[in-house]
Amino acid sequence: MLKGLLFDLDGVLTDSAKYHLQAWGELAKKLNITLPESANDELRGRSRLDSLNVILKFGNQQYYSEQQKKEFMDTKNRIYLHLIRAMTPQDILPGITDLLADAQGAGLRMAIASASRNAPIILNQLGIADLFAGVVDPATLIHGKPDPEIYERAQQLLHLRATEVTAFEDAVVGVQAIKGAGQFAVGIGNKHVLRQADYVVPTTGDLRLSDIIANFDS
């Protein structure tokens, strides 16, 4: 029986990717690196350090020390924090407000499994922080997505079993993490790209709790 929902943040509850891209773009400019068109897709769902390494690779600048990389990540995060100050409940993606309300009405417990260390700030900006019984702190994780660790931890925060939860993801690495944790995966995006998910919808606006429960039970 479905008892809990686990949510990725960026690309599922809100589109913070555009702010990540803008902040990485400003850092790249300081380093004289031009981001290719594919940058947004290549950065999606990756940890902060993995994202920086992708950007440095775009510019063939993989020679920096750990300390320099930390400074670059701090610079990017300062820019990002400034940008997300403008986020409001209007930035919640279509269909999500209804889905969360329906889930709350159905007594489902909810948790956040985001790689973003800024997730608590964004949840507050969106006005939905109180709906979640748990938010995994990615700073405490050993492995990033596609490792299942983050989804296992989110499920533990809710005191539920893998067979009792459904998790939502927009990134291939995220779906892989969910399946590695033995949970039911709802993919949001292209069904060919997210083919490892158990159920896929094209956009968040297509999410219906009744459809998800019907697929989970079948």
204 in contact with ligand B16 (CB under 6 A) = no
Per-residue mark of binding to ligand B16, 35-74 (x: CB under 6 A): --------xxxxxx--x-----------------------
Instruction: Considering the complex, state which of residue 1 and residue 86 has its C-beta at the smaller distance from ligand B16.
Output: 86
In whole angstroms, what is the distance from residue 98 CA to residue 8 CA?
17
By CB under 6 A, what part of segment 113-152 binds ligand B16? Answer: 114-118
Report the residue number, 38 or 65, with the smaller CB distance to Mg ion.
Answer: 38
Q: Does 170 contact Mg ion by CB under 5 A?
A: yes
Smaller CB separation from Mg ion, 164 or 170: 170
Enumerate residues 87-116 that contact ligand B16 by CB under 6 A: 114-116
DSSP sequence for the chain: ---EEEE-SBTTTB-THHHHHHHHHHHHHHTT-PPPTTHHHHHTT--HHHHHHHHHHHTT-----HHHHHHHHHHHHHHHHHHHTT--GGGBPTTHHHHHHHHHHTT-EEEE--S-TTHHHHHHHHT-GGG-SEE--GGG-SS-TTSTHHHHHHHHHTT--GGGEEEEESSHHHHHHHHHTT-EEEEES-TTTTTTSSEEESSGGG--HHHHHHHHH-
Which among 6-14, 56-64, 190-198, 207-215 is the span making contact with ligand B16, rule CB under 6 A?
6-14
Compute the least distance from the CB of residue 13 to ligand B16, in Å: 8
Active site (catalytic) residues: 8, 10
Determine if 20 is a binding residue for ligand B16 (CB under 6 A): yes
148 binds Mg ion (CB under 5 A): no
Is 176 one of the binding residues for ligand B16 (CB under 6 A)?
A: no
Q: Which is nearer to Mg ion, 31 or 129 (CB)?
A: 129
Instruction: Rule CB under 5 A: choose which of 4, 10, 125, 175 binds Mg ion.
Output: 10
Neighbours of 25 (CB within 10 A): 16
Instruction: For the CB of residue 137, give the shortest distance to ligand B16 in the complex, in Å.
Output: 11
**Residue 188 dihedral angles phi and psi, to the nearest 5°:** -120, 110
**Site residues (CB under 6 A) for ligand B16?**
8-11, 17, 20, 43-48, 51, 77, 114-118
